[in-house]
């Protein structure tokens, strides 16, 4: 086992998610590698400190009675079977790792499996992360202007698509500017809009996730996400704006990208 494999498996090890074979491999490696041993020690110390730090909260009695009062009261004469037991913890790796000796192989399968089966989820996560990053000071715009004729050419040569940059000020969405982002390892154009205090990042790329007809709506970490494919481009809109307002934004962009009827 090398250090990269080991480091990947340190967290499942201290979390009790590793089967015995892999746990032994990791510990055997740590016994001969000072760096990994140190990391393991630090992680264990942290877990221990957190376990003893009183991080849990007990629900106040007032809340308990409030919730109980809000639920319908069962009458005393009906006896229902108690069929729900405490959930049992099971190891994630235990299931398919039995007998496998190379954790590197596990790590590789894991990464590929996640990427393939859930590519859109992965992109959605990254899109939201990019949105959150963009909200940090100084990260929002590379080119800051409400003039669409400045924003659009700015993307030339920076990304391999010409993202539609549409001025929706009249419809209540102010164009703030544009930014270059990296999602899924590819450069992606982000056109930044604003409604009231809410920032909307519209990510546009040639291929970003799995194409599908119609917009897909999702909420991730409190942010509303919309993904749709149009004119050979993938669009991802992310904002903390309310869902219906983000839908309105999507409609406006979509209508502008794809004007209805012959013109």
Partner 1 sequence: MTGDANAEQDKARRFRDAALPYLDDVYALARYLMRGSADAEDAVQECYLRALRHFDSYRGPAMKPWLLAILRNVCNADFARRGKQEIAADYSEGEPAAEQVPMWQEPQPSPETALLREQDGATIRRLIAELPPPYREAIVLREVNDLSYQQIAEVAGVPVGTVMSRLARARSILRSAWNVAEQSAPRMTPGSAP
Q: Which residues bind partner 1 (CB under 8 A)?
A: 8, 11-12, 15, 17, 42-43, 46-47, 49-60, 63-64, 66-68, 70-75, 78, 80, 82-84, 87, 89-92, 110-111, 113-114, 117-118, 121-122, 125, 128-129, 132, 135, 196-198, 219-224, 240-243
CA distance 83 to 86: 10
From 32, 35, 39, 33, select the one nearest 13 (Cα to Cα). Answer: 39
Q: How far is the CB of 231 from partner 1 (least distance, A)?
A: 29
Identify which of residues 135 and 255 has a Cβ nearer to partner 1 in the complex: 135
Give the number of other CB atoms < 10 A from CB of residue 50.
10
Q: How far is the CB of 162 from partner 1 (least distance, A)?
A: 32
Identify which of residues 206 and 219 has a Cβ nearer to partner 1 in the complex: 219
Identify which of residues 50 and 102 has a Cβ nearer to partner 1 in the complex: 50
- Exposed, middle or buried by CB within 10 Å (0-12, 13-18, 19+), for 201? buried
Identify which of residues 72 and 214 has a Cβ nearer to partner 1 in the complex: 72
Tokens of 43: 């992680």
From 260, 253, 256, select the one nearest 201 (Cα to Cα). Answer: 253
Q: How far is the CB of 27 from partner 1 (least distance, A)?
A: 18
Q: How far is the CB of 223 from partner 1 (least distance, A)?
A: 8
From 260, 232, 259, 237, select the one nearest 248 (Cα to Cα). Answer: 237
Identify which of residues 62 and 231 has a Cβ nearer to partner 1 in the complex: 62
Burial 18-45 (b: 16+ CB within 10 A, else e): bbebbbebbeebbeebeebeebbeeeee
- State the angle between helix axes of 3-14 and 34-51 in degrees (0 to 180), rounded to the nearest 10: 20
Do 232 and 206 meet the contact criterion of CB atoms below 8 Å apart?
Answer: yes
- Edge-first strand order for the sheet with 186-195 is 143-144, 174-183, 186-195, 198-205, 233-239, 223-230, 216-220
Identify which of residues 197 and 232 has a Cβ nearer to partner 1 in the complex: 197
Q: How far is the CB of 249 from partner 1 (least distance, A)?
A: 14
Q: How far is the CB of 222 from partner 1 (least distance, A)?
A: 4
Beta strands 216-220 and 223-230 are antiparallel
Identify which of residues 98 and 135 has a Cβ nearer to partner 1 in the complex: 135
Q: How far is the CB of 7 from partner 1 (least distance, A)?
A: 8
């Amino acid at each position: 086992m090398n250090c990269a494999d080991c480091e990947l498996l340190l967290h499942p090890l201290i979390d009790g998610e590793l089967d015995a074979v892999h746990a032994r491999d990791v510990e055997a490696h740590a016994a001969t590698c000072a760096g990994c041993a140190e990391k393991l020690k630090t992680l264990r110390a942290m877990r221990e400190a957190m376990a003893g730090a009183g991080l849990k909260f007990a629900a106040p009695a007032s809340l308990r009675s409030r919730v109980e009062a809000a639920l319908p009261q069962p009458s005393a004469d009906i006896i229902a079977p108690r069929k729900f037991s405490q959930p049992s913890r099971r190891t994630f790796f235990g299931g398919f790792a039995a007998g496998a000796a190379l954790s590197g192989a596990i790590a590789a399968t894991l990464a590929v499996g996640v990427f393939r089966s859930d590519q859109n989820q992965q992109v959605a996560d990254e899109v939201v992360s990019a949105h959150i990053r963009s909200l940090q000071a100084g990260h929002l715009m590379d080119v800051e202007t409400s003039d669409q004729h400045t924003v659009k050419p700015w993307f030339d040569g920076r990304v391999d698509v010409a993202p539609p940059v549409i001025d929706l000020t009249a419809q209540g969405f102010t164009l703030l500017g544009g930014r270059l982002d990296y999602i899924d390892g590819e450069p992606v154009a982000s056109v930044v809009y604003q409604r009231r205090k809410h920032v909307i990042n519209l990510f546009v790329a040639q291929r970003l996730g799995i194409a599908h007809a119609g917009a897909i709506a999702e909420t991730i970490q409190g942010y509303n996400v919309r993904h749709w494919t149009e004119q050979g481009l993938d669009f991802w809109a992310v904002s903390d704006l309310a869902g219906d307002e983000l839908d309105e934004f999507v409609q406006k962009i979509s209508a502008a990208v794809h004007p209805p009827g012959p013109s």
